[in-house]
Amino acid sequence: MRILFFGPNGSGKGTQGAIVKEKYKLPHIESGAIFRENIGKGTELGKKAKAFIDKGDLVPDDITIPMILDRLGQADCKNGWLLDGFPRNVNQAKMLDEALQKAGMGLDIVIEIVLDREIAKNRIMGRRLCVNDNNHPNNIFIDAIKPNGDKCRVCGGDLKTRSDDQDEAAIGKRHDIYYDTATGTLASAYYFRDKAKAGGLRYIVLDGKPGVKEVAAELMGKL
Ligand code: AMP
């Protein structure tokens, strides 16, 4: 099973991706996580990528594309994968498509979480982290997980924000890339949506507006 997962920052893509990964027992390949790992280890790749990542720009295709294709060629990916964060532009989509065709492999499912840009931005900026446990969900813009005043809704602990969640300019830049339907990430999703019309590949659209549980239920129903 080979699956691509699209969704803007703030759409709950990480949470829903974990559900898909669990259902099909697939390795979860996240381009952003691979970059972060390389930066952490101080590799050549990490050093090259860091400057772009810090600015909120895409890492150039000549670094990103071989890195992902190499990762997909590793042994744990033999029976499939869930790819998240790649492709992010049309060139990456075409190169992935070409590489899969060359390898005689096809994609099975493409999932797109649809969420309005303004809502996605609010969700990121509304995120609050509990000092006692990062997994306690708190978001001042989501009714179902609104904090108790300024305290964690789960344990009453103090709440803080992640600095990159409050950087409106950086969020804007990332969303500019995602919502670009000409050459950006949505364009790359639509590249596969067009291919799905010919059959063989399923393109699943999820409404990201409801809560995590509702989106997960819709996802499970459609898989
Ligand atoms: P993410 O964790 O997916 O938000 O990715 C973090 C950062 O890694 C992005 O802001 C980009 O700078 C870089 N990155 C991740 N995936 C890609 C990609 N497919 N193409 C180019 N840059 C990427």
Residue closest to 193 by CA, chosen among 120, 93, 100: 93
pLDDT tens-place string over residues 131-151: 999 889 899 988 889 999 999
pTM: 0.90
Cα of 36 from ligand 1 centre, angstroms: 9
- For position 117, what pLDDT does the model report? 97
- Regions of the chain where pLDDT drops below 50: none
What pLDDT was estimated at residue 135?
84
pLDDT the model gives residue 143: 85
CB-CB neighbours of 185 under 10 Å:
28
Alpha-carbon Rg for the chain in angstroms = 18
Could you give all domains of the chain from N- to C-terminal order, each with its CATH number?
2-127+162-213 (3.40.50.300)
CA-to-CA separations, 199 to 107, 192, 196, in angstroms, rounded: 11, 11, 5
Residue at token pair 């001042």:
140
Ligand 1 center to 117 CA (angstroms)? 18
Enclosing H/E stretch for 94: helix 90-102
Q: What percent of the chain has pLDDT over 90?
A: 79
123 is catalytic: no
149 C-alpha to center of ligand 1: Å? 34
2 annotated active-site = no
CA 108/CA 87 separation, integer angstroms: 15
Q: Which two tokens stand for residue 88?
A: 């992010």
Angstrom distance (rounded) from CA 82 to CA 29: 6
Q: Is 88 marked active-site?
A: yes
